[in-house]
Amino acid sequence: MVNTMVNKSIQALQDGATPGRYPLERVRNIGIIAHIDAGKTTVTERILYYTGRTYKIGEVDAGTTVMDWMQQERERGITIKAAATTCYWHDHRVNIIDTPGHVDFTAEVERSLRVLDGGVVIFDAVAGVEAQSETVWRQANRYHVPRICFINKMDRMGANFERTISMIETRLRAKPLPIQLPLGSEETFEGIIDLVENEAWRFDTDPDSPPAKVAIPESLQAKVAEFRQALIEKLAENDEQIMTAYLGDTTITPAELKSALRRVTLANKGVPIICGSALRNRGIQPLLDAVVSYLPSPLDMPPVKATDNRSGSEVTREPRDDAPFTALAFKVVSDPFVGRLVYFRVYSGKIKAGAGIYNAARGEKERIGRLLLMHANHREETEEASTGDIVASLGLKNTFTGDTLCLPTQPVLLESIRFPQPVLSIAIEPKTRADQDRMAEALQKLTEEDPTFKVNFNEETGQTIISGMGELHLEVIVARMLTEFKVAAQVGKPQVAYKETITTPVEVEGKFIRQSGGHGQFGRVFVELEPLERGKGFEFVNAIRGAAIPRNFIPAVEAGIKEAMEAGVIAGYPVVDVKATLTDGNYHEVDSSELAFKMAGSIALKSGVNKAKPVLLEPIMKLEVVSPQEFLGDIIGDINSRRGRIEAIDTQGETGSVRAFVPLAETFGYATTLRSITQGRATHSLEFYQYKELSSELADEIMGKTTVRRSLHA
């Protein structure tokens, strides 16, 4: 399985040459995804070393990694931005995106998975499936991404390969297919047993020492036979060819097993499981072999579906260079050296530097400037981008995350990327007048880069409010403003991003009439408001029959309703999960205007929300705490005091884990409290779960504070 020969592609790379165009069947676009601290970046650094992409192994703790190149990443020892690179293994081109593990940067994972064909999910052999592991797994499910699992840190005390597999099955509802077993455990872990080839490999800690093929220990032979038989039986359940051979009592060769594993993986019917220790340089070559053997090429993925801009019908784009050019922009970066970079994935066709293209999402023509292949923050210029490529371009001034790029003569629209809404806000203001202009420019660039980062100006208080996915997210944004954009700013305390919604349907009238000499303003609408399911956002329906309101005024009514929803009604928080149906209205041939109907829509929304039994919604977080069992009682008591709800308590040896749901408002300062009650021996993770209705007592308290705040700034 482990081929230690250096192939021609790697040799060309080491000689300073760039390998030419690879056939699509030998291209892999993969993402490295996992919970924070599972070892994604360490795995990626080893992959780059063993493929000849780098000559020195970077270490996260030493701040010398290639992929974590930002100052903030190296200082904190975490990945913040998804970084792209390309390497070559056994005559295959592997495009890799290393994604963040912290939940605050989940948008980076979301947009990466949207454009990737396969994924490598990393698990910590000690912790198993953690909170963010579940999140990234759901994201991969959403985009039907085939994946393999790498159980990392097998050399650590408490590492448990079989327990982790069991957690993958129960918590992720996946079908694990172990194709390796660990050779040794914890401090004696020294290699892997390949169940497909039925052979064992030992790895030296020296990264330059080739793996050594060894005999499978006698003490493990029965276990290996049992696991290999279980692998064949699981494959037989999901693959007809293996089923036929199994029922016919025919010997199944390793080549047949590999082919079946590939078919089952590509169909998302099973997930191959392998293991190793990236920090000790063990198991990386078999991981690369698995990427090449089991993860899809662009040809293995179904043709991408798009909407024809002219007819509105669904069309497909085959992954071929001679098909019409179609690409999706998935990332925008403000590079301090070259300017605004737009990353995009080419799904079909090819494009040359300097070519004119069409942004179907915004209806604008653009021109591709320079085309760049990215290796983290290093750039390599190329003349052409072809099907399956992931490249960055300069010159796309009006292209943003989720936009479709295509030919002006054949405009199509790909499905965009959905991002979660921010849950935490802080007020920020520049320290000096000179900082004011720099802050505006910095905030604009940061919002272009990060779809989960929002900026609003509160007219009542005169404050600039920035919103993000959590305390760390906003902390990093503020730090980047100071270091990258040289903006000195004063930052307020974090505020929870509450929402408003309605609980009963209501029909209301919105009327705007002004008469002040000459032409006046007249607009009158009748709107039905009804609550939607949590998380559905806003829906507008035009149900007017006849010509009660001219068609050109309808968008103005919708715009007025949206504007009023953003501003809030009962406490100044955005209104969400509402369906507005425009049922009737009146207009005046002379006095009616778009402005009048926009105001009428706004008035209708405000009036309707007040009548429809409005409530406040608060963000609920999913909390997971891992701690020595002796502290579990104190942890549970503290969670209960924070209005938390315990979901599950698991114990494994001397360690226990608690999963719970806690309101975001109660989690500020939780890390400090947890350190105090567990003597610093517990770890925790928080991620957004859902918005939930706030009790009337707490809602009254929050609305009272809002009223005071408004009166102070009046």
pLDDT beyond 90 at 102 = no
Which one-letter DSSP state was computed for residue 160? -
Give the pLDDT score at 206. Answer: 81
Q: How far is CA 407 from CA 41, 306, 324, 352, 669, in A?
A: 37, 13, 7, 12, 51
Query: How many Cα atoms are found within 13 Å in the side-chain-facing hemisphere of 39?
Result: 26
Residue 152 has a pLDDT of 94
Say what the pLDDT of residue 183 is: 93
Confidence (pLDDT) at 71 = 59
**Average of per-residue pLDDT across 134-151:** 89
pLDDT at position 420 is 77
Summary mean pLDDT of the chain: 85
Q: Which whole number is the average pLDDT over 42-69?
A: 72
pLDDT at 573: 87
**Interval 404-441: pLDDT, tens:** 999 999 899 998 888 877 878 888 888 888 888 888 88
- Average pLDDT estimate for 219-231: 93
pLDDT in tens, 454-472: 888 766 566 788 888 878 8
Report yes or no: 473 and 452 within 8 Å, Cβ to Cβ: yes
Average pLDDT over residues 159-167: 93
pLDDT tens figures, 631-684: 999 999 999 999 999 998 988 777 788 999 999 889 887 878 888 898 877 877
Tell me the C-alpha distance between 189 and 200, whole Å. 13
Mean pLDDT for the stretch of residues 19-43? 83
Alpha-helical regions (H) of 651-695: 670-678
The proportion of the chain whose per-residue pLDDT surpasses 70, expressed as a percent, equals 90
Q: Please give the pLDDT value at position 101.
A: 66
Select from 382, 313, 380 the least CA-distant residue to 346. 382
> What is the rounded distance in angstroms from the CA atom of residue 417 to the CA atom of residue 103?
17
pLDDT the model gives residue 706: 57
Name the band, by pLDDT with cuts 50, 70 and 90, for residue 299. very high
Mean pLDDT of 534-550: 87
Report the percent of the chain where pLDDT is more than 90: 39
C-alpha distances out from residue 164 to 171, 185, 284, Å: 10, 14, 19
Residue 546 has pLDDT above 60, yes or no: yes
pLDDT band per the 50, 70, 90 thresholds, residue 76: low
The pLDDT of residue 12: 37
Tokens coding 133: 């592991």
The contacts of residue 96 (CB under 8 Å, 6+ apart) are: 30, 31, 32, 44, 47, 84, 85, 86, 87
- Indicate if the pLDDT at residue 85 is higher than 90: no
Which pLDDT belongs to residue 10?
Answer: 40
- Range 99-122 average pLDDT: 82
CA distance 468 to 451: 9
Amino acid sitting at position 513: I
- The single residue listed with the structure tokens 């290999």 is 228
Q: What is the pLDDT of residue 6?
A: 39
The residue among 453 and 710 whose pLDDT is bigger is 453
